[in-house]
Structure 1
Amino acid sequence: MAEVVIRNGTVVDGSGGPPRTANVAIDGGTIVEVGEVAARGQREIDADGQLVLPGWVDIHTHYDGQATWDPEMTPSSWHGVTTAIFGNCGVGFAPVRPGTEDYLINLMEGVEDIPGTVLADGIDFCWTSYPEYLDALCETPRVMDIGSQLPHGALRFFVMGDRGADHAEVPTADELDRITTLVTEALEAGALGFTTSRTTKHKAADGRLTPSLSAGDPELAAVARAMRHADAGVLQVNSDFGPGEFATLRAAAELSGRPLSVLLLQVDNSPELWRETLADIHAANADGIAANGQVGCRPISVLLGLDVSVNPFGNHPAYREIAHLPTPERAARMRNNEALRRALVSERPVDGFSKWMDYALTRAFELGEVPDYEPDPRASVAARAADLGMSPWELALDLLSDGDGDALLLYPFENYTGGSLEVIREMLADPYTICGIGDAGAHVGTICDASYPTYLLTHWARDRTRGEGLPLEYLVHKQTRVNALAYGLADRGLLVPGCRADLNIVDFDALGLERPQLVYDLPSGGKRLIQRSTGYRHTFVAGTEVSTDGEFTGARPGRLVRGAQADPANS
């Protein structure tokens, strides 16, 4: 008798095959049968009219710190994620020398917008080496599986100290050997990859560029040799992709013999660059070098509001005089005090922030109770204000001060140059892309994209009106089996006998996103944006139900995944 039998559901098994009505039996943490399943289970779940899907595999998160204090791993666990991988973009917290933790906190704060006070209060640095960090992660039961990658920034600072952080010198021969040794050690301990940042967008909170930015060919070769020796891991890269950059990364991947995974997105100042990078990815694969692009499924957007990190009025002296007030009282004054309104709208400070906001309001949109992440450009704050014969600043003031002052504006700054998601559709449809860039756990006061797996289904398989969508079974395949295999996790992402029983039972008609909200539940009372979902009826991790109708059951079967996992079909 199986522990659980799920009956009459519409199974979309992660293989890319069409949906079918079938029963799923779970026992001992694995799928044991998919089909008729004649025998009764110890527990029976009627999933008639609902989707039965593999659990989501999120390969691009930044839970490096949060995973040490939050066993519930929200917001990802509210969106059906059953495996989350962090350590991306070259930032993380191991290895670390005692007494230098502040630098890694400073780096994470600057690159990923996680307040330093939150990290300092929340993380118990009880490790020095990267393997010790993995051991520490093993000590906390949680609602999902996690995997970690070795971050280049932490490694470089550990080996070179301030010389590496300040880009003053290149590593010595001995330091290169040390890098090779430590990367090998990390991969053999269970790191799923090695990650590096090569973008000028990434700076520590004190303004210093990310340490890995100046890593040259010898340093990349030292990393690649370790990956080849260990025969393990993915080389994950966030880059600006200037001239010759992809060739450099391709050479490192070829030397390593391991897959290359790069962030792929559209930027306004070079809107066709992503196509060039994708062409390079195709060429690499044609030459036998495994490479893929990590893509999103909606615009990368900054949320603007009175209490989030970016407040359009936050630099105004008149606003600062009321900034200490409770939000509802502050909003009421902004609505009703005519002198204050005139000052906020007409007496703008002359500075870089105001200039940037002048532009942002031409691209920002009201975010309603049902969030629209593919808004019509004609609905921007500036366009609506022009139709009403008013200043964009006045309309922004009205929108943000409405009610209790918790309203938000959505400013899409990447993946939305043309004012639609057609480029995203093209990215998603490509065979050499994988789903990622949700950045769950990061940008806690500015971006709220951890919910992207839910949006992937609702928008692209059900709701899109401004263009074609994509087949449900394709999207499920992309977010489950494709992501899992990209990181060597062949034991999951597929509902077939022998695979892990990580799965979601979803009411597709009810599946949706609530409006993001600001909460103060981080260590030290730190704030973060969260976004809840509707429609997830049951989420199982390793055969144990961890949430029912959006509420946690209290079960915490999640574990640290160390290294690649074998495909049960081939075991």
Structure 2
Amino acid sequence: MADYDLVVRGGTIADGTGVATREADVAVKDGKIVSVCAVSGKGKEEIDAKGLLVTPGFVDIHTHYDGQATWDSRLQPSSWHGVTTAVMGNCGVGFAPVKIEDRQRLIELMEGVEDIPGAALDEGLNWSWESFGQYLDALDARPRDMDLGAQLPHGALRVFVMGERAARLEEATPEEVAQMRTLTAEAMRAGALGFSTSRTLNHRTVKGDPTPSLRASEAELLGIAMGMKDAGSGVIEFISDFNTPDPESEFEMIDRLLGASGRPFSVSLAQAHRRPEGWRLLLGLVEGLAGKGHAVKAQVAPRPIGVLQGLQASRIPFSMCASYKAIAKKGVAERLAIMRDPSFRAKLLEEAREPLRSDMAARLTDYDRMFPLGDPPNYEPDQDSSLGARARRENRDPREVVYDYLIEGEGRNFIFAPFANFAAFNLDCCSEMMQSPHTLIGLGDGGAHVGLISDGSFPTTLLAHWGRDRARGRLDVAWLVKRQTQDNARAVGLHDRGVIAPGYKADLNVIDFDKLGVEAPVMKWDLPAGGKRLLQKARGYRATVVAGAITYRDGEATGALPGRLVRGPQKAA
């Protein structure tokens, strides 16, 4: 008889704590790691990991699988990238709690904020819940290829309590704040990992209305935070523009919230191109809160934040032009045929020369920050590889160069257009952010912006680019693994995973580090109602293990679905 359920033999162990790698076997029984040494006993299943990197399963703390998780057992693309635990309900958007009359409002909010097709949500969501606890029960009923934790979204909570008044951004009454406090405590006790809110103008419904939580008062936020204190659990996630002349005042409010509630807190942080040094001020304010004894972190990304533009994507640089708007809803092949017509080309290029009228138009037409994505993709491209630079070399109008690139490759070409973390045409700012002791690796948005981005591949980029490929400033592999495993797990209260040691959950990756990398994203029309989404696979993952069961071998699903809903914080092994 076998001594263990699984033995991973002879791998190079990066155990999640950041200590130097070492060679060892890993033995697993009943979903837990029971030995990390030279294992003499046999396993029912064994993996020869000689020459391979063995890590804990990756923990992704910022995803948007809130809808997909109700109808899909495979949380791809994240599960292709070594993620074994994902946290969703970020950015203040989600689907519970909800009243029947508000269901469509929540769909419109998710579609607008996270670019998830409303038709797919309409068809895919069965709405078998009202309370947040009932939503967790619905999630709990479905096995999946990874563990999943959920946060209580402010938008849904506010609409549930205030109805139309929430959408009109009215101030909550004391009675409504008290109700939110009670519902928050109930959600935490039911198993929510935390609460998320958004105060950014970038978050709007598909109709263009602001997110309901945009102007929530300090009294409202305090009431919710105190609900978490009442329950004794939960982390707070905060997203804001911090665009006021005095961002310190917003941090003073955060200081008061944390002082009263004692809950851990995280805030999103990125380099805005229009204010390339502004992130330093915000990180300094985070450090100031930490210096007062608060458990505060900033979530940062390991590569540029941007969009993919192309005929298969949701946008192209000419999306604001009248002639393109007239054909935008046609299929790719039909649009491609129209765009190959010289007369249409001339007309559209002439329209593209009209003055820009919005920040979005400016983003879509920053030709010096438009790069052919390539295969494999390059997320730190040289400045002279931009389409704008190509136009100067060829003495052509950049609009013409972009247009011609879009219609090459049968319309399957993608333009990578970063709008954050790439102001200096390099990722030095990401390196600084990631190395701060006050940051976490996040913001991948797996399951969201499905027609514009494919950032669920962040974990693979983190390890391959920063640990192996970057020409300068490479980072220690064991440390990078710690950032994506133990650090993230502890930040959301999951102390039972993220480390390869006896007693910990047997979530593992076995990686051919020399071959590790991201593949080019492809567009698939596989969401409910035929909705489209970008999917991006990885290479180099020889095996991914969840609770001791092998879920993926060489990037292909095995059929095992051991993943479960994680309710509330988990105690240390």
For the aligned pair, the TM-score class normalised by the smaller chain equals over 0.9
Partner of 2:400: 394
Aligned with residue 428 of structure 1, among 434, 443, 459: 434
How far, CA to CA, are the matches of 1:471 and 1:134 in structure 2?
38
Partner of 1:511: 516
How far, CA to CA, are the matches of 1:324 and 1:281 in structure 2?
44
Structure 1 residue 323: Cα displacement: 5.5
Partner of 1:487: 492
- Check whether the contact 2:99–2:130 (CA below 8 A) recurs between aligned residues: yes
Partner of 1:499: 504
Question: 1:325 and 1:567, CA in 2 relative to 1: closer, same or farther beyond 3 A?
Answer: closer
Structure 1 residue 394: Cα displacement: 1.1
Q: Does 1:259 align with 2:264?
A: yes
Question: 1:501 and 1:153, CA in 2 relative to 1: closer, same or farther beyond 3 A?
Answer: same
Partner of 1:269: 274
Partner of 2:84: 82
Aligned with residue 251 of structure 2, among 246, 252, 277: 246
- Check whether the contact 1:231–1:257 (CA below 8 A) recurs between aligned residues: no
- Check whether the contact 2:320–2:361 (CA below 8 A) recurs between aligned residues: no
The aligned amino acid for 1:182 is L
The aligned amino acid for 2:147 is D
Structure 1 residue 355: Cα displacement: 5.0
Structure 1 residue 164: Cα displacement: 1.4
Deviations 1:320-370 (A, max 9, x none): 6766765356436645x4333333334436363795267422211111111
Give 1:164-183 correspondences, 5 Å limit. Answer: 164-168=166-170, 170-183=171-184
Deviations 1:101-135 (A, max 9, x none): 01111111111111211111111111110111101
Range moving further from structure 2, 201-210 or 434-443: 201-210
The aligned amino acid for 2:173 is T
- Check whether the contact 2:322–2:351 (CA below 8 A) recurs between aligned residues: no
Q: Does 1:342 align with 2:343?
A: no
Question: 1:115 and 1:460, CA in 2 relative to 1: closer, same or farther beyond 3 A?
Answer: same
The aligned amino acid for 1:205 is V
Aligned with residue 313 of structure 1, among 315, 318, 321: 318
How far, CA to CA, are the matches of 1:179 and 1:237 in structure 2?
17
Structure 1 residue 301: Cα displacement: 1.0
Question: 1:325 and 1:279, CA in 2 relative to 1: closer, same or farther beyond 3 A?
Answer: closer
Partner of 2:553: 548
The aligned amino acid for 1:567 is A
Partner of 1:281: 286
- Check whether the contact 2:152–2:187 (CA below 8 A) recurs between aligned residues: yes
Partner of 1:20: 22
Q: Does 1:455 align with 2:461?
A: yes
- Check whether the contact 1:227–1:257 (CA below 8 A) recurs between aligned residues: no
Partner of 2:64: 62
- Check whether the contact 2:317–2:365 (CA below 8 A) recurs between aligned residues: no
How far, CA to CA, are the matches of 2:21 and 2:430 in structure 1?
24
Q: Does 1:159 align with 2:164?
A: no
Partner of 2:366: 360
How far, CA to CA, are the matches of 1:300 and 1:324 in structure 2?
26
Give 1:75-114 correspondences, 5 Å limit. Answer: 75-114=77-116
Range moving further from structure 2, 310-319 or 110-119: 310-319
- Check whether the contact 2:444–2:458 (CA below 8 A) recurs between aligned residues: yes
Partner of 2:148: 146
Structure 1 residue 471: Cα displacement: 0.6
Moved over 4 A (4+): 315-326
The aligned amino acid for 2:491 is A
Range moving further from structure 2, 552-561 or 353-362: 353-362
- Check whether the contact 1:491–1:566 (CA below 8 A) recurs between aligned residues: yes
Partner of 1:199: 200
Partner of 2:235: 234
The aligned amino acid for 1:525 is G
How far, CA to CA, are the matches of 2:200 and 2:332 in structure 1?
36
Tell me, what secondary structure is at the counterpart of 2:484?
helix
Partner of 1:30: 32
Partner of 1:532: 537
Partner of 2:49: 47
Partner of 2:449: 443
How far, CA to CA, are the matches of 2:132 and 2:258 in structure 1?
22
- Check whether the contact 1:315–1:349 (CA below 8 A) recurs between aligned residues: no
Question: 1:229 and 1:43, CA in 2 relative to 1: closer, same or farther beyond 3 A?
Answer: same
Aligned with residue 377 of structure 1, among 380, 383, 388: 383
Partner of 2:301: 296
- Check whether the contact 2:317–2:364 (CA below 8 A) recurs between aligned residues: no
Tell me, what secondary structure is at the counterpart of 2:23?
strand
Question: 1:178 and 1:397, CA in 2 relative to 1: closer, same or farther beyond 3 A?
Answer: same
- TM-score normalised per structure 2: 0.96
The aligned amino acid for 1:281 is V
Structure 1 residue 316: Cα displacement: 4.2
The aligned amino acid for 1:89 is C
How far, CA to CA, are the matches of 1:289 and 1:318 in structure 2?
53
- TM-score normalised per structure 1: 0.96
Partner of 1:184: 185
How far, CA to CA, are the matches of 1:4 and 1:357 in structure 2?
50
Partner of 1:408: 414
Tell me, what secondary structure is at the counterpart of 1:182?
helix
The aligned amino acid for 1:452 is F
How many pairs align?
565
- Unaligned residue ranges in structure 1 (runs of 5+): none
Tell me, what secondary structure is at the counterpart of 2:568?
coil
Structure 1 residue 313: Cα displacement: 3.1
How far, CA to CA, are the matches of 1:355 and 1:497 in structure 2?
54
Partner of 2:218: 217
- Check whether the contact 2:519–2:538 (CA below 8 A) recurs between aligned residues: yes
How far, CA to CA, are the matches of 1:6 and 1:555 in structure 2?
18
Deviations 1:436-466 (A, max 9, x none): 000111111111100000000110000012x
How far, CA to CA, are the matches of 1:232 and 1:566 in structure 2?
12
- Check whether the contact 1:94–1:129 (CA below 8 A) recurs between aligned residues: yes
How far, CA to CA, are the matches of 2:200 and 2:327 in structure 1?
38
Tell me, what secondary structure is at the counterpart of 2:47?
strand
Question: 1:315 and 1:210, CA in 2 relative to 1: closer, same or farther beyond 3 A?
Answer: closer
How far, CA to CA, are the matches of 2:13 and 2:407 in structure 1?
46
Tell me, what secondary structure is at the counterpart of 1:469?
coil
- Check whether the contact 1:55–1:83 (CA below 8 A) recurs between aligned residues: yes
Structure 1 residue 217: Cα displacement: 1.4
Deviations 1:394-423 (A, max 9, x none): 111221111211000000001111111000
- Check whether the contact 2:52–2:513 (CA below 8 A) recurs between aligned residues: yes
- The sequence identity of aligned pairs, in percent, is 49
Structure 1 residue 273: Cα displacement: 2.1
How far, CA to CA, are the matches of 1:314 and 1:248 in structure 2?
40
Tell me, what secondary structure is at the counterpart of 2:551?
strand
Question: 1:95 and 1:355, CA in 2 relative to 1: closer, same or farther beyond 3 A?
Answer: closer
Range moving further from structure 2, 383-392 or 36-45: 36-45
